[in-house]
């Protein structure tokens, strides 16, 4: 009996079909979906269909939930029903085996599908998986994927499907973001505003929205990772507005041209240069592996070509850059210390103040590049009121844990917003198009001087 003769009962709707299609093109897929989407049916169907089609000996497929009891409640009945409707109710006659205590089913070709709980992740050690579904990874130990499941996929190059609904910016968020930039991963999101499912009619969704709190509905039905995170300063919806907004040339007129430079430390980090004038931020420039003199050459060239009024540089790894640039005669290059004293007492340090200054810039109509990495880095930053009664930003290592890299682009952006800069003159904007560097200025008066101000002082 070939797979084509099986009466497989599962009929995917158009959005589930996108998940199946993604698994044909990518080895690893993260699917974030709202409640009542049909994630479990889709996951079980993926396992059964691949188990039927495989030609591998001793093929093994797994379904992993945070708890074994949870896996049994969610998937075991669906798995047995689909197998029964596919092969017939007389399992022994067609050679199907099952174990109710260990929660596995073995179909006629010898392929086995087994349910696991991440609460006993060691039960998976030593196994191989030709395919695995991970349900609600956010509720599992952070090392479940790296230390346990991923090694099980090595020798047979198995696939993995991660499914879930947002519960804040946690492990599921990390994998969703990974799928936006890793060529081996694919990320899909299904919000209730973009799916049309017959069992979720508009009147029911409206009633549900009325019954839920705003943040709960945004999280459970709109798939908003930030809905339950009141401490996130840069909401994705606000960043999206900043990307899409259109500026007029008058939004740049009379404003200083400022360069923000985040200098990379050792390792994989990259130096990032940001150019900002008025409400406009241009696409950022990235540099890797440059020595201090080489980075100074780049900064000097950009300042001359763009006629920058000032450059602000991270005073940590960039201290030598500031020193060398001033030795070269660029006295309008300034250093900023992230951990330094802020100009306003409500902030714990200068970096926190820079974040709020950048938020003020965006709230007042600032436009930023359409760069997924920049948006991801911004949205990963949180702030809180510390025990001293001051606003404090999260640690950089915490951000790295979320986005799996250094937030170099975002650091460069907030550096460009670190101070007020007095422009040399009102720059002529004749024939200027977005992205052009056609500026002229003269050295005069207070050009390039930095001034502190309260970002919430209206």
Q: Which pLDDT score, from 0 to 100, does residue 108 have?
A: 92
Q: Which pLDDT score, from 0 to 100, does residue 233 have?
A: 83
Q: Which residues contact 443 (CB under 8 A, 6 or more apart)?
A: 424
Question: What are the tokens at 93?
Answer: 């006659």
C-alpha to C-alpha distance for 156 and 58, rounded to whole angstroms: 11
Q: Which pLDDT score, from 0 to 100, does residue 354 have?
A: 95
For the entire predicted model, the pTM comes to 0.61
| List of domains in the chain | 3-220 (3.40.50.300), 236-451 (3.30.420.240)
Across 137-279, the runs of DSSP E, i.e. the strands, are 159-164, 185-190, 257-262, 271-277
Q: Which helix (H) or strand (E) holds 242?
A: helix 236-244
Per-residue pLDDT of the chain (458 residues; tens, 9 = 90+): 233 445 778 899 999 999 999 999 999 999 999 999 999 999 999 999 999 999 999 999 999 999 999 999 999 999 999 999 988 888 888 899 999 999 999 999 999 999 999 999 989 998 999 999 999 998 898 789 999 999 999 999 999 999 999 887 778 988 998 888 889 999 999 999 899 998 899 998 998 888 877 777 888 898 888 775 657 788 878 888 899 999 988 888 889 999 999 998 776 678 999 999 999 999 999 998 899 999 999 999 999 999 999 999 999 999 999 999 999 999 999 999 999 999 988 899 999 999 999 999 999 999 999 888 898 889 888 888 787 788 888 888 888 877 778 899 999 999 999 999 988 765 555 445 544 432 233 323 344 555 543 333 43
Q: Which pLDDT score, from 0 to 100, does residue 442 have?
A: 33
Q: Helices (DSSP H) in 307-446: which residue ranges?
A: 319-327, 350-363, 372-379, 396-403, 408-416
C-alpha to C-alpha distance for 258 and 343, rounded to whole angstroms: 19
Give the CB-side neighbour count of residue 293, counting CA atoms within 13 A: 0
Q: Which pLDDT score, from 0 to 100, does residue 167 have?
A: 80
The full 3-state SS of 66-91, as one line of letters, equals CCHHHHHHHHHHHHHHHHHHHHCCCH
C-alpha to C-alpha distance for 456 and 458, rounded to whole angstroms: 6
Q: Which pLDDT score, from 0 to 100, does residue 455 have?
A: 33
Instruction: Please report where in the chains the tokens 């991923």 appear, as a residue.
Output: 150
Closest-CA residue to 380 (of 89, 178, 107, 129):
178
Question: What are the tokens at 110?
Answer: 């010898």
C-alpha to C-alpha distance for 438 and 431, rounded to whole angstroms: 9
List b or e across 410-420, with b for residues whose CB sees 16 or more CB atoms inside 10 angstroms. Answer: bbbbbbbbbbe
Q: Which pLDDT score, from 0 to 100, does residue 29 have?
A: 97
CA-to-CA dists, residue 123 to 138, 152, 279, angstroms: 19, 12, 55
Q: Which helix (H) or strand (E) holds 129?
A: none
C-alpha to C-alpha distance for 217 and 225, rounded to whole angstroms: 12
DSSP 249-317: GGGTTTPPEEEEEEPP-SSS--EEEEEEETTEEPPPEEE-S--HHHHHHHHHHHHHHHT-SEEEEETTT
């Amino acid at each position: 009996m070939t797979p084509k003769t099986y009466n497989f009962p599962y009929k995917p709707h158009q959005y589930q079909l996108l998940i199946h299609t993604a698994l044909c093109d990518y080895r690893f897929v993260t699917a974030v979906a709202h409640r009542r989407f049909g994630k479990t049916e889709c996951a079980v169907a993926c396992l059964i269909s691949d188990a039927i089609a495989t030609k591998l000996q001793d093929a093994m497929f797994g379904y992993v939930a945070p708890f074994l009891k949870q896996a049994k409640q969610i998937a075991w009945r669906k798995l047995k029903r689909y197998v029964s409707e596919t092969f017939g109710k007389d399992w022994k006659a067609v050679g199907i085996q099952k174990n109710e205590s260990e929660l596995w089913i073995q179909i006629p070709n010898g392929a086995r599908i087994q349910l696991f709980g991440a609460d006993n992740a060691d039960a998976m050690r030593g196994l191989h998986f030709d395919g695995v579904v991970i349900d609600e990874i956010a509720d599992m130990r952070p090392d479940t994927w790296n230390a346990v499941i991923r090694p099980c996929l090595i020798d047979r190059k198995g696939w993995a499907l991660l499914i879930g609904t947002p519960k804040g910016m946690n492990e599921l968020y990390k994998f969703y973001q990974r799928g936006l930039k890793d060529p081996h991963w694919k990320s899909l999101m299904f919000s209730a505003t973009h799916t049309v499912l017959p069992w979720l009619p508009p009147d029911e969704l409206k009633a549900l929205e009325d019954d839920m709190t705003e943040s709960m509905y945004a999280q459970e039905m709109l798939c908003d990772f930030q809905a339950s995170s009141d401490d996130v300063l840069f909401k994705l919806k606000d960043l999206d507005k900043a990307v899409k907004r259109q500026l007029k040339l008058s939004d740049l007129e009379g404003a200083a041209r400022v360069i923000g430079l985040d200098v990379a430390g050792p390792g994989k980090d990259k130096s990032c240069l940001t150019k900002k004038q008025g409400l406009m931020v241009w696409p950022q420039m990235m540099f890797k592996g440059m020595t201090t003199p080489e980075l100074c050459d780049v900064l000097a060239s950009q300042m001359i070509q763009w006629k920058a009024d000032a450059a602000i540089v991270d005073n940590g790894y960039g201290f030598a850059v500031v020193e060398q640039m001033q030795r070269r005669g660029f006295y309008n290059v300034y250093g900023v210390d992230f951990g330094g004293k802020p100009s306003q007492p409500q902030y714990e340090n200068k970096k926190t103040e820079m974040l709020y200054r950048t938020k003020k810039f965006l709230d007042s109509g600032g436009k930023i590049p359409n760069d997924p990495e920049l948006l991801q880095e911004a949205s990963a930053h949180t702030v809180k009121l510390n025990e001293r009664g001051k606003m404090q930003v999260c640690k950089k290592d915490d951000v790295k844990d979320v986005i799996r890299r250094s937030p170099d682009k975002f650091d460069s952006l907030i550096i460009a917003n670190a101070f007020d800069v007095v422009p040399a003159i009102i720059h002529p904007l004749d024939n200027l198009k977005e992205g052009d560097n056609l500026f002229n200025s003269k050295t005069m008066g207070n050009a390039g001087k930095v001034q502190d101000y309260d970002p919430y002082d209206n």
